[in-house]
Each structure stands twice: as C-alpha cells, then as structure tokens.
Amino acid sequence: MPVPSPFNQYDLKKGQSRGAKAGFWATMTNNVKTDASGEVDTTKITGKFKAVIEVDTEHERKVYNDLKKKLFKDLLFEIETLCKMRDVLFNFEIETDLDTIEDR
C-alpha cells in the first residue's frame, strides 16, 4: 500500500491550449491533439512542482511549539528516569534544538 506523500503536486506544462495551430508534420500524420472543445492543444507535461503548503497563525504556531517543547522535556525526563531505574549511565547528549526537528 503506497504511503501518501506530504507534498502537494502540480504538473508543469509547456505549450498552448487555446488558439494554437497544428504544425505541418502533425497535420500530415493526422496526429493533432485536441482538447474537449475541439481546439488544437499543444501542451506537454514537462515536470512536476512539489511543495508543502502550511497555513497557520502566529498564535497556532506558538501553541504548537510550546506543546512540542513540553513533550520533548517530558520525553527526556522519562529517558533519564528509565536510565536511573536500570542503573545505566546517562552520559550522552540528545539533540533538543526544536527548530531543526521536523514538525511531522
């Protein structure tokens, strides 16, 4: 089962969809592409544009960042507690720069 992509995808097209004229070779080989209205269409998909579009307010972002900080603080506390219970030396550093940690 494919995993849904977090990206919005848009086709990048090259050509003309209205008012285009069929080329000489396309007319001779009867290879004229038309759209639903019968107009000549010379568009071709040349690539894809992928982007992650997020819309939020400053207040929503602040609430989210505060929650993320609290969750990481609780996680570090639980790891330290577990290490103490099992007599494991907790002498390593965990990256807690929350700006570099992905939001998803």
Examine the domain organization and report whether 45 and 58 are in the same domain: no
Domain assignment of residue 12, yes or no: yes
Domain assignment of residue 34, yes or no: yes
pTM: 0.42
Domains: count for the chain? 2
> Strands 8-14 and 44-51, how do they pair?
antiparallel
pLDDT digits (tens, 9 = 90+) for 58-88: 998 899 889 988 998 898 888 888 888 887 7
pLDDT digits (tens, 9 = 90+) for 41-50: 888 899 999 9
Range of the domain at 89: 54-104
Domain assignment of residue 2, yes or no: no
With CA atoms as reference, report the closest residue to 64 among 22, 101, 12.
101
Examine the domain organization and report whether 69 and 42 are in the same domain: no
Say if residue 23's pLDDT is above 90: no
Alpha helices, H only, 29-92: 58-85
